[in-house]
């Protein structure tokens, strides 16, 4: 780091990510996205637009779906965060991930982590969503590859298989 960046003050914060307690030092306006990716090496969270439009950087904070590019890391002090890395346990895919794989919900894959977290969030609120609810529920997450149809199928498939339970 250069002198100019060292001169800026850092604060110590702690939060839980994927059930693990982490303590990090962050600059005042440092984005949660950068702290997750660069400091904690959780690179499954992606940056698409940097302005909260595309949803690629979606993570769950205390059960809420947020764009981590818009959240100053300081705000996450004490929070419980879930990223894509927190889903598959012991090498076994979560149902929703399996449905995305089976139904063709992931093409280039860059929106996929955010899309899966948005889907998870939707299914937690509505275990058996209608197509309209899926369309609305995912409208904050952009996908340029699929035209969304196979993502809808994946969410419906996961709901049928009981992903929210």
Please give the residue ranges that form the binding site for other proteins (CB under 8 A).
Answer: 1-5, 37, 42-51, 53-54, 56, 83-85, 87-88, 93, 97-98, 100-104, 106-113, 116, 134-136, 138-152
CB of 113 to other proteins, least distance (A): 4
Q: How many helices (H) and strands (E) does the chain have?
A: 6, 5
Q: Which helix (H) or strand (E) holds 34?
A: helix 32-34
CB of 158 to other proteins, least distance (A): 11
Kindly tell me which of 56 and 68 has the beta carbon lying closer to other proteins. Answer: 56
Kindly tell me which of 123 and 151 has the beta carbon lying closer to other proteins. Answer: 151
Environment class of residue 140 by beta-carbon count within 10 Å: exposed (0-12), middle (13-18) or buried (19+)?
middle
Is 54 in contact with 142 (CB distance < 8 Å)? yes
Whose CA is closest to 94, among 139, 140, 158, 25? Answer: 158
Kindly tell me which of 76 and 83 has the beta carbon lying closer to other proteins. Answer: 83
- Lookup: tokens for 158: 């996961």
Kindly tell me which of 61 and 110 has the beta carbon lying closer to other proteins. Answer: 110
CB of 62 to other proteins, least distance (A): 20
Q: Which helix (H) or strand (E) holds 12?
A: strand 10-17
CB of 18 to other proteins, least distance (A): 11
CB of 139 to other proteins, least distance (A): 4
Kindly tell me which of 69 and 78 has the beta carbon lying closer to other proteins. Answer: 69
Dist CA 9 CA 90 (whole Å):
39
């Amino acid at each position: 780091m250069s002198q100019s960046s060292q001169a800026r003050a850092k604060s110590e914060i702690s939060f839980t990510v994927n059930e693990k307690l982490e303590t990090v030092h962050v600059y005042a306006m440092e984005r949660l996205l950068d702290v997750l990716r660069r400091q904690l090496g959780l690179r499954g969270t992606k940056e698409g637009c940097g302005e909260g439009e595309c949803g690629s950087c979606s993570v769950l904070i205390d059960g809420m779906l947020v764009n981590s590019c818009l959240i100053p890391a300081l705000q996450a002090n004490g929070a419980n965060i879930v990223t894509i890395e927190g889903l598959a346990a012991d090498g076994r895919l979560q149902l929703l991930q399996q449905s995305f794989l089976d139904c063709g919900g992931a093409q280039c894959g860059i929106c996929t982590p955010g899309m899966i977290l948005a889907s998870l969030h939707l299914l937690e609120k509505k275990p058996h969503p209608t197509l309209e609810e899926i369309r609305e529920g995912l409208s904050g997450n952009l996908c340029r590859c699929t035209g969304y149809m196979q993502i809808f199928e994946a969410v419906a498939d996961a709901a049928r298989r009981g992903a929210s339970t």
